[in-house]
Structure 1
Amino acid sequence: MDITNTNPGSNRRLRGGIVGGGRGAFIGAVHRIAVELDGQAQVVAGAMSSTAETARTSAEDWFLSRWYDDFETMAQQEAAREDGIDFVMIVTPNHLHAKAAKAFLRAGIHVMCEKPLAFTVEEAEELAAVARESRVLFGLTHTYTGYPAVREARQMVLDDELGEIRKVLVEYQQDWLMDAVEEDPEAKQAQWRVDPECAGISCCVGDIGSHAANLVEFVTGRNIASICADLTAFVPGRLLDDDANMLLRLQGGGKGTLTCSQVACGEENNLSLRVYGSKGGLEWHQQEPNTLIFKPAGQPWQYLRTSVSLKSVAAAEVTRTPGGHPEGYLEAFANLYRLFLADVRRFIDGTPPVGGYPSIDEGVHGMRFIARAVESSNANSSWVEV
């Protein structure tokens, strides 16, 4: 039987689009690899830059069938095509996330968006209202929730293997902004992240602190209720924070700390989480992602390994290779897309979505976390509610 690309049902490869991610970008290529890894979808269209020449050459680099130099036109024209895209990936700088997402939501096209969700809390809440009204799918790429060991950790908390959650320690340390690299005309990734017009009110907290906060909430199942934050811009002349330290209070009574930095000399991408309960503790490090350390009370530590000793269905569903074959960042990213694309197919078939990937609700909460961290720091590190 010949299944053509214009078949309206789900028995075909899904068609994806991308906004942003053109030449000189990092995350666009990551999204493309992740979404195409399982062979369930292919990126066929893009508005990869607001500059026409860059949009064209970037699309040519990716051998895309169609290219646009603005996302509004892309949303309208793709929605009108019989072979238009089923979903779009938003990978622009922060100030365009919500604007681009709204255009596609209103066109009835499913959206997977980079974090943070929007430029401001108010914009995030408005976007959430548009998403609810459109009734199409919306996902957010908090990548680290896609690791099998992280899903195992969450399930262990749900199964009460840790008992009452008492303390969490999370850190995300990098060093790539320890100098004024944004002064280099070629350093586009640094330039927009430290520019309030593009990044918003925060650099470090918005860029990586939001990941750390989301990881805490995903694993423990408890939102951060209030914070006491101290944000710093260590590099002279930098307008946004490049380092942050916070005290946390979780819903349900647990407490902890969150520290994130992009000026921590010698660090690469050191995201680490420790969770301590009344029965046991957990420890996970993103740079050694296949190992989850379980510390049951009064017993030896257990080193649980992906595809070998992780025992939950939640972990197994996102495990791809036999034990001893490392699964890393790209696979974790692809796991979120695997879950999202499965829901896109359910949507096409008229069946309810299952989820399992971060949603717009986590995005709105993440924006509130960023805003409250800045508010707390500006108020002499006073406690504020998230």
Structure 2
Amino acid sequence: MHPWERRLRDLSQLLKNCGDAYFSPDQFRQNTNQFLQTSRTVTFIIQKNKKEIPDYEGWYQSHVVAPWSADAAMKWAKDARNVVEKEGDLDMASALHVDLITSHDASQDVTISTTKSELLKSNIEKLVRHVLTVLPVASRDAAVLKIRRRWVANSFPSVELVHAMTYVYSRLYEVCRDLAIHLGGELDKSIPDPASLDPISNDVSRTRHIKLGQPGMGKMKFITMNADPNFKALPELQEIKDELEDSGGPTNLREAVELTAKMAKATFNQFGNHVPMLFLFDEKWKQIDFMSTAFADQADKFLFWRNAADRANYLRAFGFVWVGEFWIRNLKDRAGVSFRQLPIVGERLHVIGGDAKDEQCAVTWNIRRTTQDAKPFLEEVKEGEAYSDDGKYFFMFPMVAAMKAARKAGA
């Protein structure tokens, strides 16, 4: 392992420590200060060992200096480290927040904030009762109260502190990964991927949710599972894999969607269903992340897509492809009726992709059955008919906005 890789691994542990100490202000302060100091030493060590790196000046300019020059988060991390070393502790603030979620769009949330934890705790039941009295009955079924603790640096108040540090770690991970490739190898596998340090999976913000249609406190969890080493792909899927390897992979959104659609169709034909899958890609259309989920209700969908948008942002994703089954419901006479109570008039499987340039592409099938007990089969829908009635997939909006924000931050 190269010395800069060891330091990056140290940094991943400090990031985890920040999450573990989120409700212990003094420990959180100590770990945050140490993270910021250590983060800067990763590139210092690379610089110190530049004699080992072929074409060091050109590589460092194109992989560190140029991409970081206008990156607000990386500039903040550099300045914050200087504050910690020369002036003392990073100036931080903490608060407890309550958000009422009723859609995919965070801008539509109703936010109530307080810095007094005892006030928040003593009024949760009262708050729920109040929300139920003012929220339309049809909206209660999918509405969620999101309760969270939030730390921010006063020098970077627009971004939650651990999210900002995860972003910093992600950028340093990219540098070390690309340097390993430049040296003809690969990054040491003991170094955690940024997605494994996701703030939601580590519960660092201590986020809790109350579904108004299903009382009780809950939290989101993200679990990483290893692939089954004994798994053997279907012959058709193996052919698609071989095609992918021969072609070098997709080079644009349409190719990514069409390739995923081939895999989705083969999978559905074999098993009669398809679990939800989300793929994230970088600007060269190389896969950088993968997620799956199981939705219990509409509220779960709101929460999943917001978390996915956060991941797309700090991983600096450029595009995504989503595979999933969905119901088509009759929206007539919707007033006063929750969405899940509307009559189902169809069932579909779709593969839809989008990117930071607002491009969209979709392949959609109707799911048909000859009888109620027969194995389902797919009937492709023309692309122009694949969208919802108003031509929009609302769940895409947070993802696209997050990818655009990442591009803007690093422009």
TM normalised by structure 1 equals 0.26
Q: Report which of the two has the higher share of helix.
A: 2
Greater RCO, 1 or 2 (C-alpha within 8 Å, sep 6+): 1
- The higher radius of gyration belongs to 2
